[in-house]
């Protein structure tokens, strides 16, 4: 299954605010959408101190954004890290409507991802 098909299936299987096509339209107009055989990323710039409704609404425009909000992602995490067009101090997401919105320091998040990748690829003979 391709990354975009994985996201489509997620939107069908879980409760969401909008249908996939509708939310995709919002991010195409006011955010970033990256679709490749390796990953699918849909996100935008936000303010970490914005309300939950503002952050998760792809049509709401923030003045002076300070964070990335990732609305949907499928693929290897390190692939996403190489595709982000520029850095903000924070990166945030929510896992499902009930999990709550969480922001993480971008540098700490990147180091965690790199550490996870190294530990999975480390030779057991070392």
pLDDT tens-digit profile of 73-106? Answer: 998 877 777 777 788 999 999 876 566 799 999 8
pLDDT of residue 77: 76
pLDDT of residue 123: 35
CA-CA distance, 118 to 104, in Å (whole number)?
21
pLDDT of residue 78: 75
Spell out, as residue ranges, where the chain has pLDDT lower than 70.
Answer: 96-99, 116-126
- Average model confidence (pLDDT) across the chain: 86
Say which DSSP state 31 is in: S
Alpha helices (H) along 14-122: 20-30, 52-56, 77-83, 106-121
- Please give the model's pTM, rounded to 2 decimal places: 0.84
pLDDT of residue 14: 86
């Amino acid at each position: 299954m391709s990354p975009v098909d994985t996201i489509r299936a997620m939107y069908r299987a879980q409760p969401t605010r909008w249908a996939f096509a509708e939310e995709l339209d919002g991010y195409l107009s006011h955010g970033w959408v990256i679709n490749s055989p390796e990953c699918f990323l849909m996100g935008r710039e936000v303010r970490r101190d914005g309300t939950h409704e503002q952050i998760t609404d792809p049509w709401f425009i923030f003045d002076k954004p300070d964070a990335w909000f990732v609305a949907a992602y499928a693929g290897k995490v390190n692939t996403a890290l190489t595709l982000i067009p520029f850095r903000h101090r924070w990166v945030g997401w929510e896992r499902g409507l009930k999990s709550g919105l969480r922001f993480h320091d971008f540098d700490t998040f990147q180091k965690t991802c790199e550490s996870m990748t190294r530990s999975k690829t480390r030779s057991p003979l070392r």
